[in-house]
A = this chain, B = another copy of it.
Amino acid sequence: MAPGAIETVSKNTIAVANRKLGDESSHDIVLKSFRLLVADLCQQFNGGHPGGAIGMAAIGIALWKYTMRYAPHSPDWFNRDRFVLSNGHTCLFQYCFLHLTGYKAMTFDQLKSYHSERVDAFCPGHPEIEHEGIEVTTGPLGQGVANATGLAMATKHLAATFNKPGFDVVSNHTWCMIGDACLQEGVALEAISLAGHYKLNNLTIMYDNNQITCDGSVDLTNTENINDKMRACGWNVIDVEDGCYDIQGIVNAMDAAKRSDKPTFINIRTIIGLGSKVAGTAVAHGAAFGKEDVANMKRAYGFDPEQFYVIPDEVRAFFKNLPARGDKFVEEWEQLVDDYSKEHPELAKRFRARMAGEIDPRWQELIPAKTDFPSKPTSTRAASGVVFNGIAKNIDTFMVGTADLSPSVYMYWPGAKDFQQPDLVPARGEPGDYTGRYIHYGIREHAMGAIANGMAAFAPDTIIPVTSSFFMFYLYAAPAVRMGALQHLRAIHVATHDSIGMGEDGPTHQPIELATLYRAMPNIHYIRPADTEEVAGAWISAIQTKGTPTIISTSRHSLPQLAGTSRDGVLRGAYVLEEDDAATLTLLGVGAELSHVAEVAARLRAEHGVRTRVVSFPSWRLFEAQPLEYRRATLRRHSTRVVAVEPYAPNGWERYADAAACVTRFGHSLPCKAAYRFFGFDADSLLGKVLGYLERVKEDELLGREFVEL
């Protein structure tokens, strides 16, 4: 195919004529300078990932110079196009373009911080959301594709909600750069399938098809027909044959993408490390080329091999107009929003509030008081619906979804409307639209987590995504949940079936060690509430905590409502449920088993004369944030023996307890009560364990000073 030609495979893609670019004469020098800049930056500390960034140079020019709508001097402009570098190791690609296009923070000095020992560098080894011009942190492959899907869904939803004829106040496009690796990762494949289903025509993937990964040629491990696969997933596919040089062709493809009625996959053939002697090989991927090779590149390009980081004036001039162009975009858009405010004042007010990340404060009033909750036993998953459904229904900020467990998670509120594509006519007979705030993610837990991150990353708190599944499947989603915590993206994850009490589904579904992961993971709140009141506390914590995701961990089975529980106690992580100043024993209870603990305490007092106090302990992280005095007064480790009760791996309870009734093996398929009995978590068994422990420590003084598993 001739350079610049486009194969518009989808019959729905409108053929796009060449758009006059204007600055073609500079392309050659810009490409060369960019490639040498990347090579020099890797050479500086003899490390990094030069090959991909170099191979993608023409794509970057097509994107930042000719296609993307953004404003370097207003990097947080609400309606900017979003760019996601899913192949995050090629970060120099983005850093160099941020520098060239005039992002103020990305000074030349900062650009040179790549791989340096500078602690305040804006150029870490993978792009990080904290830095100007970076939309999401990437690195773990495939995540970016799903983040981009979430960003595009956010646009679709906000546009459907707020745009009015003549007032497209939300109209941005999401551009996602990927490499060969992202197309192999399950999380990306899940998101691709969903993006195709949702017809996210505001999403474009640009595939840096260099057919090289760390191990060598991609065909060592992947020989699928990717174009056919993407088409089968509902994507528009466009090929670009010469992705190293054919800027016009790439621009044409991007123009076509913006006119597609589907998401677009631009398959762009490139050569990794173009110009280097290791071009086209895996060696070009993850190591500096070496001084001589770079010098030879410079000679071949007509540059001085003794000069480094050269950005010729012509290159500066090429990018010079972009900040001003960006300012104009912003200005026009602000004018549009002003006009919109006059025409649609109420809607505009809501829109501005959402842009500012303001959550309608009525949410607090929508949570019933403890005394207004039903007093009958309720599963905490159902309680979660009781607490949150009213908020979800009334507060537009929340986009609630599930990985195909609507009947189990109780997150679907009466009258909830699905986020759905317009060509689909669901059972109720109306065509779908994007105003809906209930998302069927499908059985795609990992993508659900990463898409939620993308929605949260659109703008701080403009959308708060709520995901839901069985707790055990948050292990599938864990890499995405981790990325959310790392990026301070606030998603709320509602995880039911959180103990052996979930029963018959057995050891594959019974979480034993998973809470340990989330209790150790930085910047996330894992909360296991014990009844409806504590569920209220968990939701209050989740909604009022900015910049930190929360997992609300709930039971499948019914739990009694306990007299002493308190939402305020939940906010402190742990609190005294039953006090006794003269107690010699403290029992720590959590979530579904707190009522067992309360029962055991009552029997210890009544039948065995053991003065026992009870602490409810829904969240370690929230508790750690309390003052030392509060923590000591709650646990009373120095005046009582402390025993934790939780059918989980004990790891970490050692900090709060002298012993724990715990589970150190995998679960067992049994009905709820039988499972508790089998693992010794019914009141009878627990009573025996605690009494036995109290006996044993009398006999063995050392044991009393060691952590004991019961």
Question: A88's closest neighbor in chain B, by CB?
Answer: B508
Q: CB-CB < 8 A to A404: which residues of B?
A: 181, 184, 213-215, 221
Interface stretch of the complex, out of A1-9, A327-335, A518-526: A518-526
A136-144, A539-547, A582-590, A685-693 - interface stretch: A136-144
Chain A count of residues within 8 A CB distance of the other chain: 122
Copy tally for this chain in the complex stands at 2
Contact of A184 among B125, B228, B232, B442 (CB under 8 A): B442
B124 touches A506 (CB 8 A): yes
Whether B140 pairs with A472 at a CB distance below 8 angstroms is: yes
Distance A506 CA – B115 CA, assembled complex (angstroms): 10
A479 proximity list for chain B (CB < 8 A): 475-476
> Contact between A119 and B232 (Cβ–Cβ < 8 Å)?
no
Query: Quick one: given A233-B229, A669-B126, are A402 and B215 in contact (CB under 8 Å)?
Result: yes
Q: How distant is A296 from chain B, measured CB to nearest CB, in Å?
A: 23
Docked-complex contact A117 and B522, CB < 8 angstroms: no
Most chain B CB inside 10 Å of its own CB: which residue of A116, A227, A476, A705: A476
Q: CA separation between A406 and B214, bound complex, in Å?
A: 7
Contact of A194 among B221, B443, B444 (CB under 8 A): B221
In the complex, what residues of B have CB within 8 A of residue A520's CB? 512-513, 516-517, 649, 651
A441 beta carbon closer than 8 Å to chain B: yes
A99 interface contact, C-beta 8 A: no
Q: Which chain B residue shows the least CB distance to A196? A: B224
CB-CB nearest in chain B for A285: B407
B139 contacts A508, C-beta separation under 8 Å: yes
Assess whether A504 is in contact with B115, with CB atoms less than 8 Å apart.
yes
Closest CB-CB distance, A86 to chain B, in whole Å? 12
Q: Find the B residue at minimum CB distance from A216.
A: B427
Complex Cα distance, B667 from A482, in Å, reads 12
At the interface, is chain A mostly helix, strand, loop or mixed? loop
A469-510 to B contact mask, C-beta < 8 Å, 1/0 = 000110110110011011000000000000000011111110
CA distance A519 to B404 in the complex (A): 31
Given the known interface contacts A139-B505, A520-B516, A654-B652, the answer about A187 and B184 at a Cβ–Cβ threshold of 8 Å is no
Which chain B residues border A214 with CB–CB below 8 Å?
404-408
Pick the most buried of A184, A219, A503, A523: most chain B CB atoms within 10 A of its CB.
A184
Residues of B within 8 A of A197 (CB): 221-224
Task: Using A507-B486, A508-B137, A654-B654 as known contacts, say yes or no to A427 and B217 having CB atoms under 8 A apart.
Answer: yes
Bound-state CA distance A523–B181 (Å) is 32
> Is A440 a contact of B223 with CB atoms below 8 Å?
no
In the complex, which residues of chain B have a beta carbon less than 8 angstroms from the beta carbon of A88? 508
Q: Which among A220, A402, A443, A665 has the greatest number of chain B C-beta atoms within 10 A?
A: A443
The chain B residue sitting closest to A115, CB to CB, is B504
Interface string of A528-543 (1 = CB under 8 A from B): 0000000000000000
A388 vs B44: C-alpha distance when bound (angstroms): 35
Q: Which 6 A-B pairs have the closest CB atoms?
A: A186-B186, A124-B669, A139-B508, A654-B654, A221-B442, A228-B232
Cβ contacts A to B, 29 pairs, < 8 Å = A126-B509, A180-B443, A185-B190, A185-B443, A185-B476, A186-B476, A189-B193, A213-B442, A214-B407, A220-B442, A224-B233, A224-B234, A229-B232, A286-B407, A486-B507, A486-B666, A513-B522, A516-B519, A516-B520, A517-B517, A517-B520, A520-B649, A520-B651, A523-B666, A632-B702, A638-B705, A651-B652, A654-B707, A655-B707
